[in-house]
């Protein structure tokens, strides 16, 4: 396990090159990584980063990917304006979802997987599944999504985060950054929303009330990525300073700065069991990190 006590011993275990990495997600069992990039979606085995397969079908760069709880389906969003739902076992597209009029920047499954959500450059948030809806309110391109039980958060170039009620489709709060919001994620206990912004800050918000609980002056020239450890006591952030920073929660103390990429780290994630950590960078490398057994 990667913990508060051993984080300074984090060591690179494997790396590979992959052009224009936009997002990475772990499989639920931690044995594979799905990576969205300019040419499609690649699946990697995590111990060696050997490529297992690729999912091809989008006609533009893939900008976002999400995985189902059983790991058997992937949802992707692309600059080609479509979403695709994939069968991981066959590598085939199950459904193509159309409705956006510009690039799809972010996709998520709801916790019970009855709803899929997407957002993009057309300034809309769209819900697909048992209930279809178009949520409007953002005044510029929307770049990120995060979801919890009965709550959906969207953030974008208008410097705001909007909290939506999934069932009523109503916006119940608007939260403000000083510049555009690049990434959102929800804490493991679903009590907090974390946001990363071009203004350089990472902030934690109460996902029910919208009250700001913590503000970290995290990265010069802008923050890009955020990830909670599975136990919720570590927060990893990344940005345009080419660094990953690890913070203890809830106090927000900086524990360790990892400097191993040559360009900004655009996406990062802890494995489901918390024993591995993955980063994807503008330097076109994907890296997996862990703690050596003798540490």
Dig out the tokens for 124 from the structure.
């809309």
Q: Could you give the angle at the alpha carbon of 225 between the alpha carbons of 221 and 226, nearest 5°?
A: 125
Q: Which residue has the tokens 């011993």?
A: 9
Residue 81's H or E segment, with its range, is none
Does 293 fall in a domain? no
Give residue-wise pLDDT tens across range 41-62: 999 999 999 999 999 999 999 9
Alpha helices in the chain (DSSP H): none
Backbone φ, ψ for residue 74 (5° rounding): -120, 145
Instruction: For 236-251, write each residue's pLDDT tens digit.
Output: 999 999 999 999 999 9
Q: What is the pLDDT of residues 279-288, one digit of tens each?
A: 999 999 999 9
Q: Report yes or no on 110 lying in a domain.
A: yes
Indicate whether 233 belongs to any domain: no
Predicted pLDDT at 180: 96
Asked whether residue 238 is assigned to any structural domain, the reply reads no
Range list of β-strands (E), 30-88: 32-37, 40-45, 51-55, 62-67, 73-78, 82-87
Is residue 262 a part of any domain in this protein?
Answer: no
Per-residue model confidence as pLDDT tens digits over 156-213: 999 999 999 988 889 999 999 999 999 999 999 999 999 999 999 999 999 989 999 9
Report the CATH number that the domain containing residue 150 is assigned in CATH.
Answer: 2.130.10.10
Output the pLDDT for position 150: 78
The pLDDT-based confidence of 294 (bands split at 50, 70, 90) is low
168 domain residue, yes or no: yes
State which residues form the domain around 108.
22-223
Residue 112 inside a domain? The answer is yes
Q: Could you tell me if residue 167 is inside a domain?
A: yes
């Amino acid at each position: 396990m990667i913990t508060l006590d051993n984080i300074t011993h984090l060591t690179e275990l494997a790396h590979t090159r992959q052009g224009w990495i936009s997002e990475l997600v772990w499989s639920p069992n931690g044995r594979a990584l799905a990576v969205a990039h300019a040419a499609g979606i690649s699946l990697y085995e995590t111990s060696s980063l050997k490529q297992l397969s690729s999912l091809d079908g989008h006609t533009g760069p893939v900008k976002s990917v999400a995985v189902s709880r059983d790991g058997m389906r992937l949802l992707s969003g692309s600059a080609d304006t479509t979403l695709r739902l994939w069968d991981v076992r066959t590598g085939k597209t199950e459904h193509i979802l159309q409705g956006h009029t510009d690039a799809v920047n972010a996709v998520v499954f709801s916790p019970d997987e009855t709803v899929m959500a997407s957002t993009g450059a057309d300034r809309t948030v769209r819900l697909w599944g048992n209930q279809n809806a178009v949520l409007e309110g953002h005044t510029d391109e929307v770049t990120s999504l995060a979801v919890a039980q009965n709550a959906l958060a969207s953030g974008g170039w208008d410097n705001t985060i909007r909290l939506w009620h999934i069932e009523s489709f109503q916006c119940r709060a608007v939260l403000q950054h000083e510049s555009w919001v690049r990434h959102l994620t929800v804490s493991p206990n679903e009590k907090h929303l974390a946001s990363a912004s071009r203004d350089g800050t990472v902030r934690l918000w109460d996902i029910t009330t919208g009250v700001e609980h913590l503000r970290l002056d995290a990265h010069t020239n802008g923050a890009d990525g955020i990830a909670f450890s599975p136990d919720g006591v570590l927060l990893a952030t990344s940005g345009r300073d080419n660094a990953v920073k690890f913070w203890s929660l809830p106090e927000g103390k900086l524990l360790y700065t990892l400097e191993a990429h040559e360009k900004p780290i655009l996406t990062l994630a802890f494995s489901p069991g918390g024993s591995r950590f993955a980063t994807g960078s503008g330097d076109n490398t994907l890296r997996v990190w862990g703690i050596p057994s003798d540490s």
